[in-house]
Structure 1
Amino acid sequence: MDPLLLIEWWWIAPVAAGGVAAGGIGMRRRSMKSGRRLAVDAARHDLRQAQQLATERRMAARLARAEYARVSAERSARRATPEQVAAAKRMLREKENDAKAAAADVRAKQVRLSAARAALPAASAPRPLERLQAEHDAITARWMRYETDASLQIAYPAMTDVKQPATAAYLRAAGAAVDARRAASGKVTTPAEFAAYRDAVADLERAFEAAEYAARVQAGEAPAAPTWQDAAQDMLSRSAEAFDRAAGAAASAFAAWNERKQRPDKR
């Protein structure tokens, strides 16, 4: 190649590379502005918070472990009471459980981030905020059926009775979801605002399902959730039945063995 051409065109490669990079950044900014990556950014925001909390809880568990070792040593030297050792051990167990829960939450947030990346909408598809608002509207529409349909009001009066705990919980969740929606519906929605709205809609759906189930229980259409006494009694009954079956099988086996032993040898 002519050296003069190299001199004249030496700047093209850096400028072209810079243009490609700038184009990529511009595309990402347009994607962020349009809200296409909002669910991904919110999931990444949740993951960072979960990782920070997990780090804090791991450190708290290490401190509790060191404190338990110190109190145990003090007890060996008869400078600490058994109650102090027991309290330090309980604290250690609590902090370790908190650390395990935080680690599990980090793994869950990593899965959510992967799912959000896989579900990244196409350019012509509804944006994550629009889909979330549609989910919110669908839950509200399900609730409004009980408010506007006279037959449903008669069949399930608990759904519109604010004195019912499940109904009151739904109404509180509905108010929280409306507030979160209002905060996330500005000109620019931050990942934190989207995450708060997403969680509020999830809480609203769970509250609606609980209220609907409670109303159906009162209407006699669904079995009530067993109390701990019922669960304990059921477990005892099952254990007794299993013991009886095992005892019967053992008795039958012993009787058969005894019969074979007493049978005369015909050889």
Structure 2
Amino acid sequence: MEPLFTFLASYWWLAFPAFGLLAAAGNGWERRARRRHRQKLEILKAQGELKAAQSTTPGPAQVAAASTPPAPETVDDESPAAQLEKLFAAHDDVTHRWLEYELDVAKLIAFPAMSDGRQPLTAAFLRAKRVADNLRPAEASTKVGRERLVEYREAVTDYEVAFDLAERDARRIKDSTFSSVERKRLDTAQQLLSVAVDQAATPAERQIAYKRVREELDGLISLSDEAVDRLEKKVALEITPGTPRPPHVPDPDTPAS
């Protein structure tokens, strides 16, 4: 034992590099996990852009490369029903976040790319949504095999990532893809929309503003039937008792005197 103590006494400073190596190993694992996550995001983004570019005249080699499935993920030890419950929750959460844009005209005006299937990342998200919706079992108690469960798990993951990419891109570009004239129409529609849903305005004032909103958005943003129905219900609300009414609908194109 004496030689060992002598060695430790002489080379005690080696403990510091050893601790450093252990810390570096832990940090390295965390960096690799983050790097794998970033790579997955980048791969999906590239696939979305590639598929959008190939939608006109794809070649056989391009189709094969774009349709290569990702490496399967391992399924944990939970029961299939428990796993499906979690996947359903994740699936529904993304759908709810998407509907916040799809059914909210104000958000669509602010971030029009979320409803524009011509945008590569939006198109990739819509495709991922179709895949996840088609693979979703009817209910958690449905008997599914391991392969089908893994396939649905991967589809939900792709759906989540694709939405995050599309949302991030839509918030980045906003209305930059429109001309200056079109951006002015969007601004006008946004201002009129605030009047159309203002319960302090009269029904006639709200109806006039609503019609102007539809006119300004015509040819710029495609509104779903559900979004139009929700907006019309807001426009049709009665005046809140005790709330003062503005005398008229302000015209955004008229400068203040």
Pick the TM interval, shorter chain: 0.3 to 0.5
Structure richer in helix, relative to its length: 1
Which protein has the larger Cα radius of gyration, Structure 1 or Structure 2? 1
